[in-house]
Every structure is written in structure tokens, then in C-alpha cells.
Amino acid sequence: MAIVVAVAACGSTTPTPPRSGSPTPGVATTPTGTPASTGTPTPSVLAIYPVPTSQPEPPATAPAAQLDSKTAANLQAALNAVRASGKLAGISAAVVFPDGSMWTGQSGSAILSSKTPVTANTLFSVGSISKTFVAALALRLAEQGTISLTDPLSKYVPTFPNASHITLSELLDHRSGIRDVFDSTSTDNAITSDPSRIWTVAQVLAGIGKPYFAPGRGYHYSNTNYILLGVVIEKVTGKTIASLVRSEFLDPLGMKNTWFQPEEKVATTNFAQGYMNTASQPRDVSVGQKMLPYNSEATVAGTSGGFVSTASDLARWASALYGGGVLDEAELASMIDVSPTIPYTNYPYGYGFERTTIAKQMAWGHRGHLDGFWSAMWYLPDYGITIVILTNDEWTKTQTVTAQLLQTLLAK
């Protein structure tokens, strides 16, 4: 992928997870300017959100959120305020309402040195939100009978250590015990020491350390699980993850600004750059790189975190995925089933799926983090609202931003 302009990017809340949205290491863990542009409503996309019959109806007392000029102005004001108070580099947000209408808003800079403003089409690294695409592909293949989630990993990757005792299901919800690629000192040092390096999947998997625990005996968020799932999916289909995600999800949903960097040429130069360190002394990690946040981290993360996208594209994706427009009812139910991980973590995790509360409201979705980037994609099942936040600095607390927008939406 050739980018004409210099780019940067890559991936909170407490606790602070390591790269690609993963939680603090441990068996029981928690995954977690420039003038502002004007937030504007965009056309309705209601057709992509059929709701499964098993989804709970909004509480009778819940205020109905609707998009109008006052709501749009309030959301933009809240976004501007949270960026200013947190001294954030740049931020892009999108909200999908129950009727399918969408608000988008931006604030701050995509590139600090040139004061290039964030726009609705600015691409951000989305880190572990990438896992939602891989999990959805795996579930579709299972629905079609191409794979079974009870299959051992050895059926597809026989050379991986202990593969005969690890199931695809345990990869999907991080019960495999496989060590996180970013929790290997040698690999992690190599990533940061040579940011322009392009890694192959074989090179990444060769550096995985000892497992955390026996398969099925615990929970530990590990990006390696989703790298392996990518290998499985490409082997059984004979197609790349990029082509499958595009044909199965992106094209049908009209997501024109989402790409899998390790396998696709990105057809735009409108990138945010990622900033590490602090707001007072930001360090650009993306300048001069071809991928976000930088080549080595993007290619090591691969199918666990290598996608770039916009807030509006991800809002369409979340609304369709969790609203029942992507998976059939049974497969969606299996995705959001967190019961296997509950004994091992106080932050329930399903198949590429986080369940949490934001402003005391249940939320479904996923967060993402690579160096210099944080992202959050949440669907509120009790309200039929989707909120997406994308930022290009290390110091943003995405849950705080999400809560601010949600409270703005639900204020009477």
C-alpha cells in the first residue's frame, strides 16, 4: 500500500490494556487544536438493521433518542468539550439512532504538525475492533458447515504447539491459553526497533512464547488467537481475509472506507497520524510509514488488529452486526454468549465481543488500541443506539468520551 502523505497511527480506560485493545496481562483480566468541524446528520441507513426477535425491547421508561438539529448541535458541543478538556489530538465520532439515521462529528487534528483537521473520511487504526470482522467470518463459516467451532486447531494448523488440544471456540473467546504476540519480549522489541519492517504471519507465529495455562482452563486476552483464526479462515476458503470481509460485509453494507492494511492497497491518503507520550509532548509514530500506526505493528497485529476505518463505517457495521443484519439469530446468540469466560474474568467476553456498561447502560461491542490510537464501538441494546469513537493519541479515554455522548443523547 503506498501512501503519498506521511501517515501515523496505531493502538482508555482503566485498566490500560496492551496493544490491539487487549487487557492487562493475567489469567483474569479486563480487555478494555484546530477548529472543530460541524456535526451533521447523514441519510438514513435503516435497511441494514433487522432486529432479531430475541433482542430485548427498550424499557418503557427509556427516552427515545432522535436525530434533529438540536441533538446534532448538542453532540458536537459535547465532542468539542471532551477534546478540549482532555487535550486530545483528534477525534471522529458517529451515532446511529434507532430509526437508522446517523450523526457524524469531528474535532481536532489528524496531523498535528500541519494542523490538518479530522474529517468524516479520515482513516484511523481501529486495532482490536478488527476482531469483530474475523469472528463474524468464523461464525458464518460455522453456520455454513465449512468449519465447526469444536474443531481442534490441529485440523488446520497442525504444526502449532499443542494445537490438537485447542478448539476454534477457545481461540474466539481467548480461553486457549496461547501467549499474546505482544507479550513476547523478543517480538515486542523487534516491532519497535524497526517500525518499517513488514512481518509475515509465519514470522509472527514463530515468536510466540509459552502458554499462560492449559486450553480451556482460564481466560487471557491474546492477539495470537485471532492471527491463528485468520490462518484457519484463509486455509479453508482459499481466499484472503481482506477479500472475504469485503465481499461478505463491507460491500453489502456500503462501507467504502474500511481496509485490511496487510493485504490491501488503501485507496486514499486521508490518514490520521498516531501520537504517543503526552498531550504536552506528543510523539508522531506514523510519519513516513505506509500503514497505521506503523508498518511493523500493523503487520504483526494482522487479523487481530490491522484494519483502518472511519467512524461512520464502523457505526454501520456495529448496527448491522449487533442488530441482527449480519449473522442469523443462533450465530449472533453464540457471539454474545459470555458464559464460558465468566468464571475467569470480571469483564465478560464472547466471540470477538465485549459486554460492559457505559453510563450505567448495557453496551455490546469492542474496543481497539495500537500505538497512538484508541477506538471504541458500542451498541446499546436497550436503546437501539450505536456509538463509535476513533482517536489518534495515546491519552484518550474512549469510555469517557462514549459516556459523554450517551448522556447527551439520553438527557431529557
Fold assignment, 19-129+240-410: Beta-lactamase (3.40.710)
Report the distance separating Cα 65 and Cα 206, nearest Å: 50
With a pLDDT cut of 90, the percent of the chain lying above it is 80
270-285: burial string, b at 16+ Cβ within 10 Å, e else: bbbbbbbeeeeebebb
Q: Is residue 44 within 8 Å of residue 94, measured between CB atoms? A: no
pLDDT higher than 60, residue 34: no
Q: Is residue 126 within 8 Å of residue 98, measured between CB atoms? A: no
Predicted pLDDT of residue 187 = 78
Average pLDDT over every residue of 50-71: 57
**In the numeric block, which cell numbers belong to residue 210?**
509459552
The mean pLDDT of the chain is: 87
pLDDT higher than 60, residue 28: no
Predicted pLDDT of residue 351 = 98
With a pLDDT cut of 70, the percent of the chain lying above it is 84
pLDDT class for 314, splitting at 50, 70, 90? very high
Q: What angle do CA 6, 8, 13 make, to 5 degrees?
A: 165
